Amino acid sequence: MATGALSLGSLAICNAQSSIDYTHSFNLKYAPHLGMFRHLAGEDPIDQLNFMADKGFKAFEDNEMRTRPLELQKQMANTMANRQLEMGVFVAHTIYWSEPNLASGNLEKREEFLTEIKGSVEVAKRVNAKWMTVVPGHLDLKLPMGYQMSNVIESLKQASEILEPHGLTMVLEPLNFRDHPGLFLTTSPQAYEICKSVDAPSCKILFDIYHQQIQEGNLIPNITTCWDEIAYFQIGDNPGRKEPTTGEINYKNVFKFIYDNGFKGILGMEHGNSIAEADGEYAVIEAYKAVDDFN
């Protein structure tokens, strides 16, 4: 009897494992990042990309792509092309977390930003990226908000002139006050106002669902209002910034809304894993299969 129980237990584990190991067909383009599956795929970035494709993911994002070695960028681009993984965002410039840059109107900092945008054009071409993340940086507490807004808009207009001939889009990411206190851009209405003022196809919104749940909530109505300026989504549950199903956000309903409204872009999985090591990596895959099951 003991032997039989052990056999049945082993069979149950094998069945659970096999239910995870086949390639899943997701409705939306969820994009993991490097390190998310390193216990299952290994430390090599190419092996990790292949693992993502094997599990049915259709996209990939990499905040650090701009600073990765040139040869690795090329290798990753080739792997993504071969495995039909679409490249998501990378961070396009130096983010000023504790001092003002774009909001200040400082011409040297603006020029630094524009120079980095020009460099990111070459990265985007190399890795077949269409989008790059832009964060306007810290508030300038010495200036009224109206002046700061004008300074940011002017910088982004000039950046748009660099990006537009290449068919590239910078996506502005509002960040929440709790994790990133003191930043200029925090809300979706503010990002919407900026995009309408810049008035260019190369300047759109990155709607990070985790950040906006903390900052303003009311997710689906705010997504609806901003819809025509949103080019990219990012994901993380709250509290904890882990995979969907670990917090308070009803991701199945949010994803269904995004899908039903015809979104064809990428949703970056910019979060940690709630469980450590390989078990946690399998849990991430299962969580996305669960919240993507809305048809």
Angle at 214 between CA 275 and CA 87, to 5 degrees: 65
Instruction: Output the pLDDT for position 22.
Output: 62
pLDDT value for 295: 80
What are residue 183's DSSP bridge partners? 138
Give pLDDT, residue 1: 39
Residue 18 lies in a domain: no
176-227 pLDDT tens trace: 999 999 999 999 999 999 999 999 999 999 999 999 999 999 999 999 999 9
With left for phi above 0 and alpha for psi between -120 and 50, is residue 157 left, alpha or beta?
alpha
> Mean of the pLDDT values across residues 51-63?
98
Residue 155: which CATH number? 3.20.20.150
- Portion of the chain with pLDDT greater than 70, in percent: 93
Q: pTM of this prediction?
A: 0.92
SS3 30: strand
Can you tell me the mean pLDDT for 273-287?
Answer: 98
Q: In degrees rounded to 5, what are phi and psi of residue 141?
A: -70, -10
Query: Is 6 part of any domain?
Result: no
Q: How far apart are CA 292 and CA 273, in angstroms?
A: 18
H/E stretch holding 205 reads strand 203-208
Q: Is residue 14 part of a domain?
A: no
**Cα-based angle 46, 50, 51 (whole degrees, multiple of 5):** 115
How many domains is the chain partitioned into structurally? 1
Domain around 191: 31-291
Residue 269 lies in a domain: yes
Residue among 164, 182, 220, 173 at smallest CA distance from 61: 173
Q: Identify the band that residue 21 occupies on the pLDDT scale cut at 50, 70 and 90.
A: low
φ, ψ (nearest 5 deg) of residue 129: -90, 150
Q: Which of 4-8, 51-55, 172-176, 248-252 has the lowest mean pLDDT?
A: 4-8
- Quick check: is 21 in a domain? no
Q: Over pLDDT 90: what percentage of the chain?
A: 92
Residue 211's closest CA among 179, 243, 253? 179
Q: Is residue 13, in this structure, part of any structural domain at all? A: no
Q: Is residue 17 part of a domain?
A: no
- Residues 133/89, Cβ–Cβ less than 8 Å: yes
259 SS3 class: helix
52 and 84 Cβ atoms separated by less than 8 Å: no
7-17 mean pLDDT: 38
Segment 199-209, tens digit of pLDDT: 999 999 999 99
In a domain, 25, yes or no: no
Quick one: CA dihedral 206, 122, 54, 260, positive or negative? Answer: positive
